[in-house]
Structure 1
Amino acid sequence: MTLKTTLKGALFGIAALGLAAPAMADQLADIKAEGKIVTATDMHYAPFDMLNNGTYEGMTKDLFDEVAREIGVEPVYQDIPWTAELPGLEVGKFDIVIAPVTITPERLERYTFTPPIADATVSLVKAKGNDDLQKPEDIAGKTVGVQQGTAQFRQLQAYGEELGGVTVKEYGTTDEAYADLGAGRLDAVAGSLPNLTYLVKSRPENFALFEPAQFGEPTYFAWVLRKEEASESLAKAIEDAIAKMTEDGRIKAIQEKWLGSYTELPLSASAN
């Protein structure tokens, strides 16, 4: 066998291996082939996600129902504890996390975010009739509840340090924090403005917002996908769906239904 023949055989073998290599994974194509998109959220985060007599409802569901319709697949909704959602996403247990996730620089490094779905700026709520707490700085030296593992938790910690000390108590769900606030075991609860506005709107006899309620830098909620090349097509399809829904008024209608008002949002996570 000559050297020329050997080289020709080797090159042919490399080319054959290239032709036989599997096509690159494409999450959107896989989802469309299955006819469904598997999601994860925490169904104890009103007004975004709630269980009403065992039926899932809320602003997130209304929004994602429309997004799934635009993509042409059926959504599968799963109730997963918040602390298990992002780890579960990373190992492929579901396609997307649709629990409202606050966009942060650290998370942008690790995950792919959809365009924002709501304002997430951290705010404070108190028991109705508690006139000792008026503005955010009044929580200095007080005990404040917040959901564990959230961006609001970290913002509250930082704000408490600025004030010279706040006792931060973590909860698995916001409902648990609201229950302790109503029972007098907390002075206040920190959370996103939409969540707390809905709480006060639903239970005005029990709770009231601080005035002003918000503190810290403006932030936004969005949904999260894995940060990988295979997810790029799905991320683009969701971005296109949200842009279309913004233009035709569906986003506005859903916000007004659940929040009582409309806030214009950036059309990309990087613009928040």
Structure 2
Amino acid sequence: MKRILALALTLTMGTAAAAETLTVGMSGGYFPFTFVKQNELQGFEVDVMNAVGEEAGFDIEFETMSFSGLIGALDAGRIDTIANQITVTPEREAKFVFTQPYVFDGAQVVTKKGNDEVAGVEDLRGKTVAVNLGSNFEQLLRNLPYADEIDIRTYESNIEQDTALGRVDAFVMDRISSAQVIKESPLPLQLAGKPFSEIRNALPFRDDAEGRALRDRVDAALTTLKENGTLADISVKWFGTDITEQ
């Protein structure tokens, strides 16, 4: 587990005051949202949380771990929230309290370049499809009316490589990340069709008094950052467009 501390300076009544620490979990392996380059944790989610910390008066402490372990770490109280494109789902809303969405996206099928057998989600029947372990994409596929005809395989990593090598027929990821992977990677990949499910990403907190209080402070900070254009600026920096508005 790698721990990286980002400090935010807060002032109270004109004098320096110690800020509370908000511990934020992320994978550090989901470019360009959260990734490590030259031993530095960076990405869209990192910039957003640092801006939230500055606005809300938190010291932001990042903890990186496998994506599949993030929900368990939050539930166990080892972290306060997760900033790693966490999709709001009914199952998660039954267990956690969420901020307002700050990313709007869609689920996307990606195939090896030149694959003309899969032109979208409707062509996944009889195909092997990879998803990241612990992500919401497995459930999205299982909700399809023909889910029993899809061989769904979960991966900790390398779904892009295995698709490019033909070990699986396709993978499903969010469209924003898929487009960035295709743009930055030398692997021969292509988007297959249009997004097939709307995704709203938000920050989850434990559903107790402390968690709800933290959620309210972070949510208020997100509102301010949306209104003053900071979230849009961060989005344009990483994606060239604003993904923070529906």
Question: Could you say which TM-score interval applies, normalised by the shorter chain?
Answer: 0.7 to 0.9
- Checking the alignment, whether the CA contact within 8 Å between 1:47 and 1:194 is kept in structure 2 is no
- C-alpha offsets along residues 89-126 of structure 1, whole Å, 9 cap, x if unaligned? 12211222222211011111110111112124211111
Please name the residue that 1:14 is paired with. Answer: none
| 1:162 aligned onto 2:146 | yes
Alpha-carbon distance in 2 for matches of 1:43, 1:201? 19
- Checking the alignment, whether the CA contact within 8 Å between 1:49 and 1:57 is kept in structure 2 is yes
Please name the residue that 1:141 is paired with. Answer: 126
- Checking the alignment, whether the CA contact within 8 Å between 1:119 and 1:193 is kept in structure 2 is no
What SS does the corresponding residue of 1:191 show, helix, strand or coil? strand
1:215 and 1:204, CA in 2 relative to 1: closer, same or farther beyond 3 A?
farther
Q: How does 1:211-222 map to 2 (within 5 A)?
A: 211-212=193-194, 214-216=195-197, 218-222=198-202
Alpha-carbon distance in 1 for matches of 2:19, 2:234? 28
More helix by share: 1
| 1:265 aligned onto 2:245 | yes
- Checking the alignment, whether the CA contact within 8 Å between 1:127 and 1:206 is kept in structure 2 is yes
CA RMSD of aligned residues (A): 1.9
Please name the residue that 1:226 is paired with. Answer: 206
Alpha-carbon distance in 2 for matches of 1:208, 1:225? 35
| 1:99 aligned onto 2:84 | yes
Q: How many residue pairs are counted as aligned between the two chains? A: 230
> Percent of counterpart pairs with the same letter?
23
- Checking the alignment, whether the CA contact within 8 Å between 1:255 and 1:261 is kept in structure 2 is yes
Structure 1 stretches of 4+ with a deviation exceeding 3 A read 32-35, 263-266
1:70 is matched with which residue: 46, 55, 66?
Answer: 55
Q: How does 1:1-272 map to 2 (within 5 A)?
A: 35-159=20-144, 161-162=145-146, 165-173=149-157, 176-203=158-185, 206-212=188-194, 214-216=195-197, 218-265=198-245
Alpha-carbon distance in 2 for matches of 1:71, 1:97? 17
Greater Cα radius of gyration, structure 1 or 2: 1
Alpha-carbon distance in 2 for matches of 1:177, 1:205? 11
Alpha-carbon distance in 1 for matches of 2:226, 2:34? 21
1:61 and 1:229, CA in 2 relative to 1: closer, same or farther beyond 3 A?
same
- C-alpha offsets along residues 153-180 of structure 1, whole Å, 9 cap, x if unaligned? 1111222x5266111111013xx11111
More strand by share: 2
Alpha-carbon distance in 1 for matches of 2:178, 2:110? 7
| TM-score normalised per structure 1 | 0.78
Alpha-carbon distance in 2 for matches of 1:98, 1:151? 15
Q: CA deviation at 1:233?
A: 2.2
| TM-score normalised per structure 2 | 0.86
